[in-house]
Amino acid sequence: MNAQPGTDRSTVVAAGSAVTEPEAVGALGRLKRRGTQGNVGAIGLVLAAGLSVQFGAGLAVSLMPRAGAVGVVTLRLVAAALVLLVICRPKLRGHSRRDWGTVLAFGLSLAAMNGLFYQAVDRIPLGPAVTLEVLGPLALSVFATRRLVNLLWAALALLGVFLLGGAGGFGSLDLVGAAFALGAGAMWAAYIVFSAKTGQRFPSADGLALAMAVAAVVMLPLGIAEAGSKLLVPTTLLLGIGVAVLSSVLPYTLELLALRRLPASTFAIMMSLEPAMAAAAGFLLLDQGLAVAQVIAIGLVIVASMGAVRTQVGRNRVGVG
């Protein structure tokens, strides 16, 4: 029996005369549990990815005096590309032009997102930088969603983001750094879109490995021009590999897997948790404290993300029942 989520009971029973009503109801119950467990698992993947990338960003900030912003990005992308290519060993044959076009767009968005973000955190604190960057995924959620309730959750998350920014004092931020953070947010939205498309066209993490290689090739000349031989200092190289694992290899793989189970709109709203994770990383790694208003703002974005997730899980339960 090939019943899928969203199939009603009468259709399941009619699919074969040997299937009884109790058997059909039992099958639907199993599908319901699988759907719920799949969503919960995807949520866990997104949260783990967010924590990893923010603590990786904190480590990268401490590395910038050694190699510069572009140098750190180069180390991160090159190391991540090498690790993923070795692990995944993606096949180069058997893909259409559209497949390669998707990977190319994914790789360019990766390079631009990372390059712009590291230029931002080189000029402004990590928490406000991520707060501005997350506006990109939030905007995507508003445009992509088809349900009014998700628009409300997005609005609540946006309120928290602006409150967090107000508590951190956006007015005193370097305007160039803020502009880089907003540009990184736009590229983050593009990353979400092309990551989902790449996951649909390539098995496992093959598409991610190829896209990371594209991003590394784009950034390598820029990194060499800025940092030169500093990139080969053993300590710098080792720290760069650590940044690559925490900020690229682990989170991007987890997010790609999550995007196969969650719609882009729900995934984008969950990204509103990033300022909270960045604040935690800043506090633990960079000695950046939290004001009361910032704690309230973090609470708002967490509530919004939880509401979006509960809405998605609830919709799946209705569709299967």
pLDDT digits (tens, 9 = 90+) for 129-167: 887 887 787 777 667 666 777 778 778 877 877 776 665
Note the pLDDT of residue 14. Answer: 32
Note the pLDDT of residue 101. Answer: 92
Note the pLDDT of residue 172. Answer: 60
Note the pLDDT of residue 265. Answer: 61
Note the pLDDT of residue 146. Answer: 64
Distance, in Å, from the CA atom of 132 to the CA atom of 150, rounded to the nearest integer, reads 20
Note the pLDDT of residue 173. Answer: 67
Contact in structure between 273 and 132 (CB atoms under 8 Å): no
Residues 6+ apart with CB under 8 A from 169: 128
Note the pLDDT of residue 211. Answer: 92
Contact in structure between 142 and 154 (CB atoms under 8 Å): yes
DSSP letters for 31-83: HHHHHHHHHHHHHHHHHHHHHHHHHHHHHHHHHHHHHHHHHHHHHHHHHHHHH
Note the pLDDT of residue 208. Answer: 85
Note the pLDDT of residue 264. Answer: 62
Which of the residues in the chain have pLDDT under 50?
Answer: 1-36, 317-321
Note the pLDDT of residue 109. Answer: 94
